[in-house]
A and B are shown apart, each in its own frame.
Chain A
């Protein structure tokens, strides 16, 4: 019975075009069942953010995203009063000169003038949303502890209005890139999932899923090439997004295999750092050998 539920989630993810593996499915399943935030870490470009998007689609709900950055503070995450609008409203009311001061005060601190930022939005959302707190390690530690408070109480206090309790507790996904070590407290509040670069089979499945019109041989060669490429010591190891870009590009150009000269010409799709490009170029022949890439002259 339980396992059916797991399978159902795997299917849900699959049906949204996300190639999953047992650990991802399990993490998503537990996070949904236990109502706990899921902390996802892993190198850039392995589809951490994608999980949240897919989850929202699979649950047929909306995704609310809080993108963290350095200097992000509570006002940007919670709410702000629309000051200019309040001011204009006061002016207009003044012109008509009706109502008591108290009424007026209640009016300008009403819903209409409240600008909801992601966290408040998530809490007051009419149905259970997926809340994505992206790259939480970019924000500073103060914000992290503030976040902890919201994530455990699920209520936000606005002095002028009062305490707002969550109508539905959102499904929370927190992602991190390991820029900064996250606090132990946050880690302990969450379930944890580490996503690494995909292995060959998974990557191939992803490419097939995302670029359906791709030639089979080309897809295999690209994935093998990427697998080998990641073994090099690079500054910025390419992720799945790069593989898909590359596969899409070559497939649009109607290639049915990976020719040497094209690899050299299009390496920029995959490697975005000149030093990495140099490193890769130096070991290209080795890469060709391992991945079975041939130049058109080799066949002669």
Chain B
């Protein structure tokens, strides 16, 4: 009986290793949990055994889905191996240690620093990270939903950034002495009611201008998603897209579902994947929508700067925009490439009027946006 138990133990440990190779994050704590769980169910009942392991070793819905198959796969392999080994041992008669050796070795190597495993684990730490490293242009369509969620998280984190000023709060975070005294004056100075304050939420106003011309085609779908996520998170945001003309798309993006927003966008916006006239488009913005800009406004421009128009128009437009706003951020998807130099005439014209020039080719770079917001 005890023999059987240890056998089972090493099998469970081995199974954990097997799961790790399938991107499950299982540390020694989970392993211990699994082993303790094992002692609570009879191993004869296969389905219960599987369930107990599942409860102990899975951490999210996706893993729950994968688990039964991996379980079957592993134990089938094991049965096969045991079968052949019992045949072997019958032949060699009494080389029992040999049966246990491999898994023991494996366990030992695992205990003495499994460098390889460690690496794969950090690399696949979570879906968030693998996706984060990806260039937008390489993301296949089936990861879209995931991407949108990550972007949403990123922009939520941005929205959560706090201000140094304080405002009134209902939770007891920081005591507001001044207002407490003032409030309780009418009670003869007895401090009955307490007033608290908290860091004021950032109230930045955002204006986003996105280039949707042909040269941006690879990225624009994702940038539109980014816009959509932004729009749903920030309340004070105005969004524009431009190719040859400028379009105000705030209202179109304010749809319940992303699909609907895309449909509205494509219905109302001509010139998707068309030519680029950055200069005139920005000029139109500076002139017609200048009222949107004030010292609290952050302007984000998403464009690769491939413009064939007159750089002077562009420069003038940019100057106006910068003067009126708090900060201008130019996100260029090409800047993700380390060899990239902003050499085009348009980029050269723009640079003096840009506070932050950054890349926007993957989520990592979009996350970095938080620094500037």
* A-B contact list, 27 entries, CB within 8 Å: A3-B41, A3-B42, A3-B48, A6-B41, A26-B48, A26-B54, A26-B55, A29-B40, A30-B37, A30-B40, A30-B55, A31-B55, A33-B37, A34-B33, A34-B40, A41-B60, A73-B173, A75-B172, A84-B192, A87-B192, A140-B160, A187-B59, A187-B60, A188-B59, A192-B55, A193-B55, A275-B256
B149 contact set on A, CB distance < 8 A: 181
Q: How far is the CA of A298 from the CA of B339 in the complex (A)?
A: 73
Is A264 part of the binding interface, using a Cβ–Cβ cutoff of 8 Å? no
Is B181 part of the binding interface, using a Cβ–Cβ cutoff of 8 Å? no
Of A2, A184, A192, the residue contacting B41 (CB under 8 A) is A2
Of B48, B64, B126, B194, the residue contacting A6 (CB under 8 A) is B48
A194 touches B61 (CB 8 A): yes
The residue in chain B whose Cβ has the minimal distance to the Cβ of A183 is: B126
B36 touches A75 (CB 8 A): no
Interface 1/0 per residue, B256-298 and A, CB below 8 Å? 1100000000000000000000000000000000000000000
B55 contact set on A, CB distance < 8 A: 23, 26-27, 30-31, 191-193
Other contacts beyond A6-B41, A71-B171: 14, CB < 8 A: A1-B42, A3-B42, A22-B47, A26-B41, A26-B54, A26-B55, A30-B37, A30-B55, A36-B33, A41-B61, A83-B194, A184-B59, A235-B256, A275-B256
Is A76 part of the binding interface, using a Cβ–Cβ cutoff of 8 Å? yes
Interface 1/0 per residue, B239-268 and A, CB below 8 Å? 000000000000000001100000000000
- Given A3-B42, A30-B40, A87-B191, is A191 in contact with B61 using a C-beta cutoff of 8 Å? no
B40 touches A33 (CB 8 A): yes
Q: How far is the CA of A29 from the CA of B59 in the complex (A)?
A: 17
A184 touches B126 (CB 8 A): yes
A31 contact set on B, CB distance < 8 A: 55
Is B83 part of the binding interface, using a Cβ–Cβ cutoff of 8 Å? no
The residue in chain A whose Cβ has the minimal distance to the Cβ of B30 is: A188
Chain A, interface SS category: helix
A184 contact set on B, CB distance < 8 A: 25, 59, 125-126
Q: How far is the CA of A33 from the CA of B33 in the complex (A)?
A: 11
Interface residues of A (CB under 8 A from B): 1-3, 5-6, 22-23, 26-27, 29-31, 33-34, 36, 41-42, 71, 73, 75-76, 80, 83-84, 87, 140, 178, 180-181, 184, 187-188, 191-194, 235, 275
How many residue pairs between the two chains, A and B, have CB atoms under 8 Å in the bound complex?
89
Question: In residues 26-46 of chain B, which contact A (Cβ within 8 Å)?
Answer: 27, 29-30, 33, 36-37, 40-42, 45
Q: How far is the CA of A33 from the CA of B52 in the complex (A)?
A: 12
A2 touches B192 (CB 8 A): no
Is B137 part of the binding interface, using a Cβ–Cβ cutoff of 8 Å? no
B42 touches A80 (CB 8 A): no
Nearest CB in chain A: distance from B57 CB, A: 8
- Given A33-B40, A41-B61, A193-B55, is A188 in contact with B25 using a C-beta cutoff of 8 Å? yes
B48 contact set on A, CB distance < 8 A: 3, 6, 22, 26
Is B9 part of the binding interface, using a Cβ–Cβ cutoff of 8 Å? no
B173 touches A34 (CB 8 A): no
Interface residues of B (CB under 8 A from A): 25, 27, 29-30, 33, 36-37, 40-42, 45, 47-48, 51-52, 54-56, 58-61, 63-64, 125-126, 128, 149, 153, 160, 171-173, 190-192, 194, 256-257
- Given A3-B45, A76-B171, A235-B256, is A191 in contact with B51 using a C-beta cutoff of 8 Å? no
Of A2, A71, A73, A194, the residue contacting B40 (CB under 8 A) is A2
The residue in chain A whose Cβ has the minimal distance to the Cβ of B169 is: A71
A83 contact set on B, CB distance < 8 A: 194
Q: How far is the CA of A194 from the CA of B173 in the complex (A)?
A: 36
A192 touches B64 (CB 8 A): yes
Of all A-B residue pairs in the complex, the 10 with the closest CB atoms, nearest first, are A187-B59, A26-B51, A194-B64, A27-B55, A194-B61, A192-B58, A191-B55, A33-B40, A75-B172, A30-B55
In this complex, which of A1, A6, A71, A75 has the most chain B Cβ atoms within 10 angstroms of its Cβ?
A: A6
A75 contact set on B, CB distance < 8 A: 171-173
Q: How far is the CA of A180 from the CA of B149 in the complex (A)?
A: 9
Of B27, B171, B257, the residue contacting A188 (CB under 8 A) is B27
B128 touches A181 (CB 8 A): yes
B64 contact set on A, CB distance < 8 A: 192, 194
Q: How far is the CA of A184 from the CA of B45 in the complex (A)?
A: 31
A27 contact set on B, CB distance < 8 A: 55
The residue in chain A whose Cβ has the minimal distance to the Cβ of B58 is: A192
Q: How far is the CA of A180 from the CA of B157 in the complex (A)?
A: 11
The residue in chain B whose Cβ has the minimal distance to the Cβ of A273 is: B256
The residue in chain A whose Cβ has the minimal distance to the Cβ of B26 is: A188
Q: How far is the CA of A37 from the CA of B310 in the complex (A)?
A: 65
A76 contact set on B, CB distance < 8 A: 171
A140 contact set on B, CB distance < 8 A: 160
The residue in chain A whose Cβ has the minimal distance to the Cβ of B150 is: A181
Q: How far is the CA of A91 from the CA of B60 in the complex (A)?
A: 55
Nearest CB in chain B: distance from A60 CB, A: 22
A30 contact set on B, CB distance < 8 A: 37, 40, 52, 55-56
Of B56, B126, B194, B256, the residue contacting A191 (CB under 8 A) is B56
Nearest CB in chain B: distance from A272 CB, A: 14
